[in-house]
Structure 1
Amino acid sequence: MKDTGSGNLTTISHILLLGFGNLKELWIPLFTGFLAVYIISMAANLLLVVLVVLDPHLQTPMYFFLSSLSCLVIVSTSNISSVMLTGLQTGNVMIALGGCLAQLYLFGALATVEYFLLAAMSYDRYLAVCCPLHYPSLMDSRVCRQLVVGSWVGRFLFMRILSLLLIALSFCGPCEIDHYFCDFQPLLELSCTNTSMVQTVTRHKAFSTCSSHLTVVTLFYGMLVAVYMSPRDGTGLNPSKALSLLYRVLTPLLNPFIYSLRNQEL
């Protein structure tokens, strides 16, 4: 902690992630289970990317979007799982405030890119079903690249605005959060300044897009809204920590199977 020179007010320089420290008897099975899920998720998504790159028959808009989603999932899952698995080995993780904000920025940026990729995939399927004769001209390789690049550029710019709002906050402690990674709400609870603007921005973010991919959306958006809209009473099991496991760990695992099982080519 660092003294700010204003009475007893201090700012924190490091944050302790408690992770699953209250479940010591389950550390080994949790670590084994999450590691297995992580490995399977990485292997499945990487395999999907390799298949799309190597097989000319799969180089279509639909599989281009699927491979882009898999690349995104590989990066985003590694960003979260690495810290979570480390916490399960040591009991907790001490991370610098700057590193915590960086992880939060990457997590938020990748998550919001995923929203737009799902929306682009929905638009692609809409054109394929409703406009089959015009589909090749409406959804060519140039349009696909523009949609993917636009998703990345636009959402990283959005997260830059949110990051500037977070950097402007003062974090006065306590210097620990009951989570396994640096998520929005637990980090905001450490702030000793007004966080209403940041909370308003993240609330709108949760409802920013929707998708017709009902299975993925139910898991991803449903859990996302539940995490950021659920009340915190300070007692019992932290609901956001449990729910975020589903949309940050389970959904990346299921994505390649949900999509590939419905496609004869794969």
Structure 2
Amino acid sequence: MDGRNQTAVTEFIFLGFSGVPSLQLTLFVLFLMTYLLSLMANTLIIFIVLTDSTLQTPMYIFLGNLSFLEIWYTTATVPKLLATCLSQLVTISVFGCVTQYYFFFSMGATECILLAAMAYDRYVAVCSPLHYARLMSLQICLRFSVGSWIGGFTAPLLPTILISRLHFCGPQKINHFFCDSDPIFKLSCSDTFLVEALGYTCSSVVILSSFLLTMSSYGNIVVTIVRLSSREARKKTFSTCTAHFTVVTIYYGTIIFAYVRPPAKYNFTIGKVVSVFYCVVTPLVNPLIYTLRNKDVKKAFRKVLAQKRFVLARNKQEF
């Protein structure tokens, strides 16, 4: 087809950022540090939420889910990214590529739905505080959390099945650092119109619907804040939502740019740069924003440190 070599391809080669060989070592160090910090920060938040009884509320259960999600979301892509910075030949099997595609987009869809659920939680807390305990009980929160995971892992299932049935006969080089949709389609010698249309539709529906629901919640929050008579009350109420809104802006800004557009408009160089933001940067930004701006999390963290110091001091006395 189109004069391509018809030998079946069994593995792909990631090109990563091979176009800038002089910067690859620098990029490796930056990506590795960001990845490790992201793992530590998200793990710390999960530990704090699980161990501090005062944080067993819907808001922090959602936050713990988000941190758990971010650990796997970034782990799905960053190890291969790091490998491409050190080696000229980083391969992945066709099956491994399809698997990576599925888990990456499943966790991305889960994050979209989870952010919408978190926005609804803040909407109820600000706009209907008297009914918060009823509308966002622990049981309802757990249903939202489970629903986010189920919905996220269901959304890309059909596109993944169709991709797994595509034939690849060369070339085998993926102009990316992970198995994103457009680079995969470019390598197929099958007709990809149906799977491209379905994948584009699924990603657009999930991203835009969750984005609109999130913005709707924040729109109602802003209206409620403006109506507050006290300036101090407005400032305090707004501060409780700015962390989540910052996360939403960063995340949705990059993924809408990357995936809510016609496939023909894809630019591989820009796509790789934008992907770094939602694959590497955002998973670190999320816990930092929530930790630095949240008094309850900082208080719980100080409590954990105090307990650790007490245990260490007692152990020294015993010895």
Normalising by structure 2, we get a TM-score of 0.76
Which of the pair is proportionally richer in helix? 2
User: What are the within-5 Å matches in structure 2 for residues 68-217 of structure 1?
Assistant: 68-204=65-201, 205-206=203-204, 207-210=208-211, 211-212=214-215, 213-217=244-248
Aligned equivalent of 2:287, options 253, 256, 264: 256
Equivalent position SS for 2:296: coil
| Residues 195 and 208 of structure 1, relative CA distance in 2, 3 Å threshold | farther
Comparing 149-158 and 126-135, the one that deviates more: 149-158
Show structure 1 runs of 5+ residues with no match: none
* 1:130 positional shift: 1.0
Larger Rg: 2
- Residue range with higher mean Cα deviation, 181-190 or 217-226: 217-226
CA drift at 1:163: 1.1
1:8 CA displacement = 5.7
How far apart are 1:185 and its partner, in Å?
0.9
8 Å contact kept, 1:19–1:178: yes
Please provide the CA RMSD for this pair.
1.9
Q: Distance in 1 between matches of 2:196 and 2:254?
A: 17
Q: Give 1:9 deviation, angstroms.
A: 2.9
2:11 maps to what in 1? 14
TM-score relative to the length of structure 1: 0.91
Tell me if the contact between 1:19 and 1:92 (Cα under 8 Å) persists in the aligned partners.
Answer: no
Q: How does 1:218-233 map to 2 (within 5 A)?
A: 218-228=249-259, 229=261, 231-232=265-266
Runs of 4+ in 1 over 4 A off after TM superposition: none
Q: Percent identity?
A: 40
* CA shift in 2, pair 1:109/1:232, >3 Å: closer
| Match among 263, 266, 270 for residue 239 of structure 1 | 270
Q: In 2 relative to 1, CA 201–261 (structure 1 residues): closer, same or farther, beyond 3 Å?
A: farther
* Contact 2:156-2:199 within 8 A present in 1 as well: no
Unaligned runs of 5+ in 2: 216-243, 298-319
Shift of 1:80: 0.8
**Contact 1:165 1:198 survives alignment (8 Å):** yes
